[in-house]
Structure 1
Amino acid sequence: MAAETSANAKAYKTAVIKIGSNTLTDDEGKCDRAYLADLAHQVARVRREGWRVIIVSSGAIPCGLEALGLPLRRPDDMPTVQAAASVGQRALLAAYDQVFSPYGMLTSLVLLTRRDTADRNAYLHARDTFRRLVELNAVPIVNENDTVSVEQIKFGDNDTLAALVACLANADRVVILSDIDGLYTSNPKTDPSARLIKRVDRITPEILAGASGAGSAVGSGGMITKLTSARVLGAAGIPLVICSGRAEDAVVRSLADDPIGTLFTGADVPHEITPRKLWIALGDSVKGTLLVDAGAARAIVEDGASLLAVGVKNVEGEFEAEDVVDVVDEAGFVIARGLARCSAESMRSGKADIAVHRDELILFE
C-alpha cells in the first residue's frame, strides 16, 4: 500500500494549470494550435522561474470530432462522445507534444475517473505517481477518461478534476484559464456596472448564490464549479487564480505575486488537513446531504466536534456507512464534507449516535 507521508521540502513550486474547452478551441470549435504553441512558450518561461507544471486539459472531444470529420458540437449519444474522446485524446496529446518538445519538455498522459480515486489505496498511488512525475520534471497532461466514463464515475467537469490533481500533487497554486476574466460582483454580460473582484479570502453564501451554471455548449463547467473547487482548495491551503486564458501572457501573470484575474487565497489553514481528509473532500462523489441545526453547525465549525445524529434535522439521499456526505447549515450552505458513520436509513430511524466523526470531517471556510 502506498505510504501516507507528508511531502518533503522541495526546491521548486508546483502549479496546476486547467485549460477549458472554450479557451483551447478556436471560433470554429477546432483545437487552436497557435494558442498551444504560445502556451508552451509560457510554460517554458515559468519553469525557468522555478515552477513545475501539471496541465489539466479539456479538448479531447472537440479534437476527436475534428479528426473524425463530425460536426463540431457535442454529440447527443454517449457512444459517439466516447469514440470522439478516444480519437481526441491521441490527437490532443500529439498536439501538446509537438509544441512542448522544442523546449525540451517531456509530456505524459494521465487519464482519470472517479473510480480511480474513490478507492483509498488507488488514490494514494495516484498521488505518488503525480509527485514522481513532477520530480522527474515531466509535464503531465491530465484529463477525465471520457472514453470509459459514465455518469456514476464522472468528475463532471475539469474544475473539480484540477482541484483533485492539485491536492494529489501538493500544488502551490492552481490556475483556471477560462473564457472569463475572473469573478465579478454581478454578471458582466447583463450588468454594465459589474466589477472584477481581484481577491477573495472567503467564499460566502452570497458569492455562491450569485454564481451561474455552465454557459457554453462546449464546456461542462460554470462559475459555480470553480467556486466549489476554490472552497476545497482553500481548505487545503492552495491558492486558486481564475483568469482569461486568452489574456496576454496569462500563465506567466497568473503565477506572479499579484496575479491577473481573481485570486482565491488559500492561506491560514485553521487545522491540519490530512491526506485522508483531502481524499474525503475530493476522492469520491457525494452520496447524500445532512442538514444540521445551528448548534450542531457551531459545534463542528467552532469547536471541531463530531457531528452528532441529534443535530441532524434532515437526511437527503440514500447512502451507506463510509459514503461521502455534505453537511449543510440551516441556510443550505455547505460547511463540511465527511464519511457517514451509518446509513441514511439508520439516521432517519434515530438508531445512530454519531453521524460523522470529526476525524473524517473536513471543514470548508
Structure 2
Amino acid sequence: MPPLTEISEQLTPNNIVSKSQTIVVKVGSALLINPDGSIRTKWLATLVEEIAALQKEGHKIIMVSSGTIALGARTLGLPDGGRSNLADAQAAASVGQIALARLWSEMIADKDILAAQILVTLGDLEDRRRYLNATATLDRLLSLGVIPVVNENDSVATYEIRFGDNDRLAARIGQAAEADLVILLSDVAGLYDKNPDSHKDAKLLKNITNIGEDIMQMADGNSSSGMGSGGMSSKLEAARIANMAGIPLIICSGKDNYPISTFLESEQGTIFEPQTSISARKGWLGGRLKTAGNVHIDAGAVTALKGGASLLPAGVTKIDGNFVRGDVIDIISPEGGILARGLAEYDAKDADIISGHQTHELGKLLGYTPRKAMVHRDQLVLL
C-alpha cells in the first residue's frame, strides 16, 4: 500500500506560477486588516502592484478577499470583531462590503485596471445551474481584462448555509473559473509536520501529492488572528477540492510586503500537486460542502466502486437522511469515512426499502420498474 503522504520535488514555485494562465489569489482578514480594524494599506498596495504585473505578463487574476466583517465591525463599534452573534456578523458584513469593494476598486484602478465585485453564497456554487452562471460571469470578466474580487455574501448567509471561510471558497471559485492555480496567502508559511508554535523541530512540507489521513491530522482547525474563520483544516480541505479538479494549490505566508514575490524568492510554502483530473461535473460534485444524506456500504461495494462500477442496492447497508432523487449524497465506507459522493437515483424512502437486495428483487419491492443503480458511476466521484 502506498504511503498516505507523498512528497514530490517536481514543481517549483516559479515554474508553477509562470505556467498558470488563470490564478486565484485568496487574501484573509488577518492579512488585510490590522488588529484594531484598520486596513493594512501599504501592504495591500504591494500586493496590487504584484497582481497588476502578473496581469501585464498575460495572467488572468481572480482575487478572493475576506475582510467585510472586520471592516464593518470597526465602523459600527461592534465587539469581538463583529462575530459575537449572527446578527452582528450580518450587519458588519453589510457595512463592510461597501468599504471593501471601494478599497479594491480604487487600488486596482490606480494600475489602470478595472475591478468587479462578485458576492456569492454557498448555494450559488452548490446548485449546478447557479454554479454554471458563476462560471460564465467569471469567464466573461476575465476575457475583458477585469479582475474579479470575490467574497462570501456574509450579509445574508447563515451559519448553516455558508462556506464558513474563504479558503474553500477560493478552491470552488478556482473550479468554476477552470483556474490553473490557487494561492492561499496565509498567516503561516505553509503546512508543517508539527505545530511550529510548540515544536522547534517542525519541518515545512514543501510539496505534497496526496492528501492522506496523516496530512489531515497535522491541521490545527483554529484561526490564530481571531478575525478570520479559516485554519489549516479549511486550507487542506481547499487543497483537496482544488486538486480534485486538477488545480495545484499553494499555501504560503502573506505577512510581508510583496507577498507573492517573497514566496517565489524564498520558496517557503507548501504546494499541493494534483495527480489526476476529473470531469468538470464530477469536480463540482466532489467539491460540494453540503450533502442531503448518507448511504453506507459494505466491503464488496467499496471494491466495486474503486473498480469504476456503479453503486448497486445489494452493497448498501444503511440509509441516513431524507434525500430525494437527484440530491447529492455521501457514500460511507464500513470504517465510517466518506469514500465517494454522487447523485441519488432514488428517494431515501425507496432506497431504504431496496438496500441489501439484488437487482432482480427491486421491481417486486418497489412496485414499479426500478433503476439498477443506487448511484450511477457517471454521477459518482471517489474522494
Under TM normalisation by the shorter chain, which class is it? 0.7 to 0.9
Q: Root-mean-square deviation (CA), in Å?
A: 2.3
- Amino acid corresponding to residue 86 of structure 1 in structure 2: S
The one of 357, 360, 364 aligned to 2:376: 357
Instruction: Output the CA distance in 2 between the equivalents of 1:197 and 1:76.
Output: 35
Instruction: Output the CA distance in 2 between the equivalents of 1:191 and 1:327.
Output: 37
CA distance 1:30–1:265, shift in 2 (3 Å) = same
Please say if residues 256 and 262 of structure 2, whose CA atoms lie closer than 8 Å, have aligned partners that are also in contact: no
The answer for the alignment partner of 2:339 in structure 1 is 335
Instruction: Output the CA distance in 2 between the equivalents of 1:113 and 1:289.
Output: 24
The one of 323, 330, 342 aligned to 1:319: 323
- Give the drift of 1:211: 2.0
The answer for the alignment partner of 1:297 in structure 2 is 302
CA distance 1:12–1:224, shift in 2 (3 Å) = closer
Matched residues, number: 349
The answer for the alignment partner of 1:5 in structure 2 is none
The answer for the alignment partner of 1:287 in structure 2 is 292
Instruction: Output the CA distance in 1 between the equivalents of 2:188 and 2:303.
Output: 36
Q: Secondary structure at the match of 1:354?
A: coil
1:87 and 2:95 correspond: yes
Please say if residues 281 and 337 of structure 1, whose CA atoms lie closer than 8 Å, have aligned partners that are also in contact: yes
The answer for the alignment partner of 2:244 in structure 1 is 235
Please say if residues 241 and 259 of structure 1, whose CA atoms lie closer than 8 Å, have aligned partners that are also in contact: no
Higher-Rg structure is 2
Instruction: Output the CA distance in 1 between the equivalents of 2:241 and 2:127.
Output: 19
- Give the drift of 1:15: 0.4
CA distance 1:283–1:332, shift in 2 (3 Å) = closer
**Runs of 5+ in structure 1 lacking a partner?**
1-10
The answer for the alignment partner of 2:106 in structure 1 is 98
Q: Secondary structure at the match of 1:221?
A: coil
Instruction: Output the CA distance in 1 between the equivalents of 2:229 and 2:353.
Output: 38
Instruction: Output the CA distance in 2 between the equivalents of 1:315 and 1:187.
Output: 38
The answer for the alignment partner of 1:3 in structure 2 is none
The one of 175, 178, 194 aligned to 1:170: 178
Please say if residues 125 and 172 of structure 2, whose CA atoms lie closer than 8 Å, have aligned partners that are also in contact: no
Instruction: Output the CA distance in 1 between the equivalents of 2:179 and 2:374.
Output: 32
The one of 151, 156, 164 aligned to 1:148: 156
- Give the drift of 1:257: 11
1:20 and 2:31 correspond: no
**Runs of 5+ in structure 2 lacking a partner?**
1-18, 356-361, 363-371
Instruction: Output the CA distance in 1 between the equivalents of 2:350 and 2:229.
Output: 36
Please, what TM-score do these two structures have when normalized by structure 1? 0.88
The answer for the alignment partner of 1:158 in structure 2 is 166
Sequence identity (%): 40
1:224 and 2:224 correspond: no
The answer for the alignment partner of 1:7 in structure 2 is none
Which is worse superposed, 115-124 or 167-176? 115-124
- Give the drift of 1:161: 1.0
1:263 and 2:271 correspond: yes
Please say if residues 172 and 241 of structure 2, whose CA atoms lie closer than 8 Å, have aligned partners that are also in contact: no
CA distance 1:344–1:192, shift in 2 (3 Å) = farther
CA distance 1:312–1:231, shift in 2 (3 Å) = farther
1:190 and 2:209 correspond: no
Instruction: Output the CA distance in 2 between the equivalents of 1:260 and 1:46.
Output: 20
1:130 and 2:134 correspond: no
Q: Secondary structure at the match of 2:222?
A: coil
Instruction: Output the CA distance in 1 between the equivalents of 2:85 and 2:295.
Output: 35
The answer for the alignment partner of 2:11 in structure 1 is none
CA distance 1:347–1:209, shift in 2 (3 Å) = farther
Which is worse superposed, 324-333 or 54-63? 324-333
- Amino acid corresponding to residue 277 of structure 1 in structure 2: K
- Give the drift of 1:258: 9.2
Please say if residues 13 and 51 of structure 1, whose CA atoms lie closer than 8 Å, have aligned partners that are also in contact: yes
- Give the drift of 1:347: 3.1
Please say if residues 24 and 59 of structure 1, whose CA atoms lie closer than 8 Å, have aligned partners that are also in contact: yes
- Amino acid corresponding to residue 221 of structure 1 in structure 2: G
Instruction: Output the CA distance in 1 between the equivalents of 2:129 and 2:223.
Output: 36
Please, what TM-score do these two structures have when normalized by structure 2? 0.84
Q: Secondary structure at the match of 2:334?
A: coil
- Give the drift of 1:327: 2.5
CA distance 1:12–1:282, shift in 2 (3 Å) = closer
